[in-house]
């Protein structure tokens, strides 16, 4: 019965934890030999036979036949008189093999053996999980939300292994409930208190890179390479791509027909705005592309300080900076240059500026008053005399003087 219980213990773990046959046989034999060492002081004269298919095992002891007068070690020797009771043909110097029953070790030893076996299998499984996920660092895994806590989420994979998604590795707009399916990338694996700790991330640039590999076959096949990714999770990301085949447009391939490929990635990232940029070794061109959708007039580079002064039309400045400064911040991270933007002064007489571009200097109600008299551009305002402006807009003299000053400064 005890024999059966031990094999049941082994079978249970083998089925649940998927431990391979050679490893399990090694563990079983090692556990039994430790028991033999404790009881007999040596295991060299024992044969441990394990039959996994039948769920059984046997322990056989080999002893040398000696004269009764020379008998002094019951473990290694058997007196001739005792050997002849087994088989009358035994002679001195021969070897007698007999089976050792597990019950002979005593109930306490059997319980200790079973516990030892259980612990060894658990340790082995923990190590297997550690090795398995160590090889998966940088790969996307899919799991099910098992528990949601304030600082982290517990995720179970398809083998019920526990994975951790910390709050710091979640997209700010992520919201999960127990039972939800989730995708994330493995970023770190370590042993903590003899237990494997597998950390996932949805904010890592690697997660976005793997999503592109899943959605864009050309990237998976190596025809298009992702050179660099920078992102502010849940807000905006910039991805620089390069094609090794001149016939392939890397940006078009990543975006897909009518955005079909990139839309799946955007949904996964909770509507994160993704800019796909064609990589180039031309620094000025790369900076220009990284500030898309803003259109740039000129760029002055300081290679030593890694700084770039970018000049744009007034209406393009806000596009270059982006909401909350995200566009210029990501462009700097992508190119490796500290970028400063400047409004390009307009010198040519045939150039004009819409008065809406001066909202940072002139109150909106003043601009509305100028529009009401048909002045939509800076030059259209300057073409009128000071007195005409005061009379037609009904604005204060000081206000009109300030407006004229601002508009004249734009063309100086």
pLDDT per position as a tens digit, 292-319: 888 888 889 888 899 999 998 888 888 8
Looking at 87, 111, 131, the residue that finishes a domain is 131
Residue 41 pLDDT class (50, 70, 90 cuts): confident
Indicate whether 48 and 143 sit together in one domain: no
> Residue 22: exposed, middle, or buried by beta-carbon count in 10 A (0-12, 13-18, 19+)?
exposed
Whether the predicted pLDDT of 9 surpasses 90: no
Query: Is residue 143 within 8 Å of 180, Cβ to Cβ?
Result: no
Residues 123 and 9 in one domain: yes
Q: Residue 168 pLDDT more than 60?
A: yes
| 8 Å CB contact between 57 and 102 | no
Domain boundary among 186, 201, 216: 201
How open is the CA angle 290-292-296, to the nearest 5 degrees?
Answer: 95
Of 16-20, 94-98, 99-103, the one with minimum mean pLDDT is 16-20
Would 301 be classed as within a structural domain?
A: no
Number of domains composing the chain: 3
- pLDDT average, residue stretch 361-378: 84
Asked if residue 126 and residue 16 are part of one domain, the reply reads yes
Same domain, 48 and 117: yes
**Beta-bridge partner residues of 155:** 145, 163
Distance CA 74, CA 64 (A): 10
Cα–Cα dist 75/45, whole Å: 9
Residue 222 lies in a domain: no
- Provide long-range contacts, Cβ within 8 A and 24+ apart, for 342-350: 342/309, 342/310, 342/311, 342/312, 343/311, 343/312, 343/313, 343/314, 343/317, 344/297, 344/298, 344/311, 344/312, 344/313, 344/314, 345/410, 345/411, 345/412, 346/410, 346/411, 347/411
Q: Is residue 216 part of a domain?
A: no
Q: Phi and psi for 55 in degrees, rounded to 5?
A: 70, 45
Q: Does the pLDDT at position 178 exceed 90?
A: yes
Q: Is the predicted pLDDT of residue 148 greater than 90, yes or no?
A: yes
Please give the average per-residue pLDDT across 232-253, as a whole number.
92
Contacts of 40-47 with CB under 8 Å at 24 or more apart are 40/75, 41/75, 42/75, 42/76, 45/75, 45/76, 46/100, 47/97
203 has a pLDDT exceeding 60:
yes
CA angle 205, 208, 214 (to 5 degrees): 145
Q: Is residue 15 part of a domain?
A: yes
Specify whether the CB–CB gap between 251 and 238 falls below 8 A.
no
Average confidence score pLDDT of the chain:
86
Q: What is the CATH number of the domain that holds 150?
A: 2.40.50.140
At 348 the pLDDT is 45
Closest CA to 254 of 203, 202, 215, 205: 215
Cis peptide, bond prior to residue 239, ω within 30 of zero: no
Structural domain harbouring 11: 2-131
The proportion of the chain whose per-residue pLDDT surpasses 90, expressed as a percent, equals: 41
Looking at mean pLDDT, say which of 3-12, 91-100, 217-226 comes out highest: 217-226
Q: Which residue has the tokens 């298919």?
A: 53
The mean pLDDT value for 130-147 works out to 94
| Longest CA–CA separation in the chain, Å | 138
Residues 115 and 368: their CA atoms lie apart, in Å, by 84
Within 8 A by CB and 6+ apart from 395, the residues are 366, 369, 389, 403
**Residue 28 sits in the same domain as residue 102:** yes
Asked if residue 151 and residue 61 are part of one domain, the reply reads no
User: How far apart, in whole angstroms, are the C-alpha atoms of residue 290 and residue 282?
Assistant: 12
Element containing residue 318 per DSSP (H, E): helix 314-321
Banded pLDDT at 10 (limits 50, 70, 90): low
């Amino acid at each position: 019965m005890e024999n059966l219980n031990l094999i049941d213990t082994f079978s249970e773990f083998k089925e649940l934890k998927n431990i391979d046959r050679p490893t399990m046989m090694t563990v079983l034999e090692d556990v039994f030999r430790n028991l033999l060492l404790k009881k007999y002081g040596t295991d060299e004269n024992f044969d441990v036979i394990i039959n996994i298919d039948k769920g059984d095992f046997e322990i056989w002891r080999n002893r040398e036949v000696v004269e009764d007068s020379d008998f002094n070690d019951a473990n290694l020797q058997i007196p001739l008189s005792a050997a002849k009771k087994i088989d009358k043909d035994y002679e001195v110097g021969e070897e007698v093999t007999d089976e050792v029953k597990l019950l002979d070790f005593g109930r306490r030893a059997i319980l200790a053996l079973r516990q030892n076996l259980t612990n060894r299998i658990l340790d082995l499984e923990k190590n297997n999980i550690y090795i398995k996920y160590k090889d998966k660092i940088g790969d996307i895994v899919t799991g099910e939300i098992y528990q949601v806590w304030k600082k982290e989420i517990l995720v179970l994979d398809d083998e019920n292994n526990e994975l951790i998604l910390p709050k710091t590795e979640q997209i700010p707009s992520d919201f999960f409930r127990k039972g939800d399916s989730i995708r994330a990338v493995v970023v770190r694996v370590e042993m903590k208190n003899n237990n494997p700790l597998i950390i996932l991330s949805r904010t890592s640039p690697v997660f976005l890179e793997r999503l592109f590999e899943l959605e864009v076959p050309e990237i998976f096949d190596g025809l298009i390479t992702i050179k660099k990714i920078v992102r502010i999770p849940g807000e905006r990301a910039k991805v620089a791509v390069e094609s090794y085949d001149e016939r392939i447009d890397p940006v078009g391939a990543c975006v897909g027909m009518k955005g079909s490929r990139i839309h799946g990635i955007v949904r996964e990232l909770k509507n994160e705005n993704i800019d796909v940029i064609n990589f180039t070794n031309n620094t000025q061109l790369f900076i220009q592309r990284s500030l898309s959708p803003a259109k740039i007039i000129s760029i002055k580079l300081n290679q030593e300080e890694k700084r770039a002064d970018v000049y744009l039309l007034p209406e393009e400045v806000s596009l270059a900076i982006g909401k909350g400064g995200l566009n210029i911040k990501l462009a700097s991270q992508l190119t490796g240059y500290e970028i400063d933007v400047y409004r390009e002064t307009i010198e040519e007489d045939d150039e004009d500026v819409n008065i809406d571009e001066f909202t940072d200097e002139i109150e909106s109600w003043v601009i509305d008053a100028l529009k009401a008299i048909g002045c939509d551009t800076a030059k259209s305002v300057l073409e009128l005399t000071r007195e005409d402006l005061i009379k037609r807009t009904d604005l204060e003299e000081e206000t009109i003087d300030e407006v004229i000053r601002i508009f004249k400064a734009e063309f100086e």
